[in-house]
Each structure stands twice: as structure tokens, then as C-alpha cells.
């Protein structure tokens, strides 16, 4: 089995090291193409206005000055003689659940792999803050990811569908189960915080300040709160079928 690894936290991220440990339990044919620097929040973006600089670190291991999407395309279309059988993206430092998957470079890399017709899985590890420092328990993903990936390898995943896995912020032995979830929803809470530099010129930081509304049963958000691993199949056909039919009867020239 040939496996391509990538992420959005950068080539030297701890989560990528863990992902490689997981992948090597299934194959020795591991390729890594990851961003040169942190690309968090860039979603499914492409680098179109500047060249992509590729740096070979070691055999089958490359850093690309580009986005996670660029990395997948570089690996599949340029570096590898044959496409991989599996693409793993992560392990991201921080959860990727609810509406946040639309911002996630980790999920976007799996999205690009899915569009290329390759089985693709995104993996993320939730964390919290303690004494002003990020506290992330990588051991939870390290312990539980291999068995999940092994089970998913036996499944025929439908076309245009990726798998989004999130590990809760707890010790490995505190995991209360694995839940096949749906995508939850957050209130939109992004806002601009205005500050001033040493010469009193304004600048801005993008900040989070949202609430979690009541969730429908089986959401990825609730699963993590209850210390369950969330496994969400994400379909890339975003057509709202019921509303499409309504529009077709209301304003379309062709009715059904």
C-alpha cells in the first residue's frame, strides 16, 4: 500500500510525526508532502499568484511552500510515479468539527484527495488551554488512530466522500467510544479586534468569540464533549436537493 501524508501545521509539526507512526503500521511506502510553514485556516485554497517552491528533506519527504491542497496535487501529480492508495491528513493540532471544517486546511487536503478519486482521511486532536499554554494530549490520537484507520481501510467509501476523524481532549483510557457523527453547527463568532502599533497606526487580529447552539443528535461537537471519537463522512456534493426541486418548480424553466 502506498500512502501520502500531509497536514496544514507544517512539515515539522508533531502531529505529522504521529501520523507517520500510524501510517507505518500499514505500509513502508510512505510519502510526505507537507507545507513549509503553518497553513492553518487556509481551507481549500490554491497558490495561483506565485511559484511553488519544493524542498526535498529526505527520501520521499518534501516540504512545499504552498497550501495543503497544493501539497496533495504536488505529491499525486508530480512526485509519485503512481497515485497513492490512501491519503492521510493531520494529525491537526486542534479539532476540526462543525462549520469549522470549511476553514480547515487539514480537511481540505483530504478533500483534494477525494476529488482525485483517492480514499482520504483527515485526523485532528482537540486540545485545551492551561495557564496560558496549549495543552494537547497527542497520546490519544497515537493510541486510537491505528485501529480506526484499519477499520476504514476495509470499507468502500462512496465517491466524493472523505472521512473526518476528531479525537477528544482526554486521556486515551478516558475515551468512551467511537461515534459515527453528523456535522454540527456553531454560531458565527469571528470578529476583528482592533489594536494600535507603536506609532498609533491601527492593525487587526481575527478573533473567536462564539457560542455553541443546541445540537441535533449525533453531532461531532457533542461527541467530543462526551469523550467519544467522532468519525464523520463528509460528502462533497453540496447541492441542497429539496430546495433545488423547490426552485425548479418555482423559478426554473425546466420542472421535474
Angle subtended at Cα 168 by Cα 166 and Cα 11, rounded to the nearest 5 degrees: 55
CA 121, CA 80: separation in Å to the nearest integer? Answer: 19
pTM of the model: 0.93
Q: Which region holds residue 80: left if phi is over 0, alpha if psi is between -120 and 50, else beta? A: beta
Each residue's pLDDT expressed in tens, for the chain with a length of 256 residues: 999 999 999 999 999 999 999 999 999 999 999 999 999 999 999 999 999 999 999 999 999 999 999 999 999 999 999 999 999 999 999 999 999 999 999 999 999 999 999 999 999 999 998 777 889 999 999 999 999 999 999 999 999 999 999 999 999 999 999 999 999 988 887 889 999 999 999 999 988 776 677 777 899 999 999 999 999 999 999 999 999 999 998 787 765 6
Provide the CATH number for the domain formed by 2-185+213-250 in this structure. Answer: 3.40.1210.10
Domain extent listing, the chain: 2-185+213-250
Per-residue confidence (pLDDT) for residue 131, from 0 to 100: 77
Amino acid at each position: 500500500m502506498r500512502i501520502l501524508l500531509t497536514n496544514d501545521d507544517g512539515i515539522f509539526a508533531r502531529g505529522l510525526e504521529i501520523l507517520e507512526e500510524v501510517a507505518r503500521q500499514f505500509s513502508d511506502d510512505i510519502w510526505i508532502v507537507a507545507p513549509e510553514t503553518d497553513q492553518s485556516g487556509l481551507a481549500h485554497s490554491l497558490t495561483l499568484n506565485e511559484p511553488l517552491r519544493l524542498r526535498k528533506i529526505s527520501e520521499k519527504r518534501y516540504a512545499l511552500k504552498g497550501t495543503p491542497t497544493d501539497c496533495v496535487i504536488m505529491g499525486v501529480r508530480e512526485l509519485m510515479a503512481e497515485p497513492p492508495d490512501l491519503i492521510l491528513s493531520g494529525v491537526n493540532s486542534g479539532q476540526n468539527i462543525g462549520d469549522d471544517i470549511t476553514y480547515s486546511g487539514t480537511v481540505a487536503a483530504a478533500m483534494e484527495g477525494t476529488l482525485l478519486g483517492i480514499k482520504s482521511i483527515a485526523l485532528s486532536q482537540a486540545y485545551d488551554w492551561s495557564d496560558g499554554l496549549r495543552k494537547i494530549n497527542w497520546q490519544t490520537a497515537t493510541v486510537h488512530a491505528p485501529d480506526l484507520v484499519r477499520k476504514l481501510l476495509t470499507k468502500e467509501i462512496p465517491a466524493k466522500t472523505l472521512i473526518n476523524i476528531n479525537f477528544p481532549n482526554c486521556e486515551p483510557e478516558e475515551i468512551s467510544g467511537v461515534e459515527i457523527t453528523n456535522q454540527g453547527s456553531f454560531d458565527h463568532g469571528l470578529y476583528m479586534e482592533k489594536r494600535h502599533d507603536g506609532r498609533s497606526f491601527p492593525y487587526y487580529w481575527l478573533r473567536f468569540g462564539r457560542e455553541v447552539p443546541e445540537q441535533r443528535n449525533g453531532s461531532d461537537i457533542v461527541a467530543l464533549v462526551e469523550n467519544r471519537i467522532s468519525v464523520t463522512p463528509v460528502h462533497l456534493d453540496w447541492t441542497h436537493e429539496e430546495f433545488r426541486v423547490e426552485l425548479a418548480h418555482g423559478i426554473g424553466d425546466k420542472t421535474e
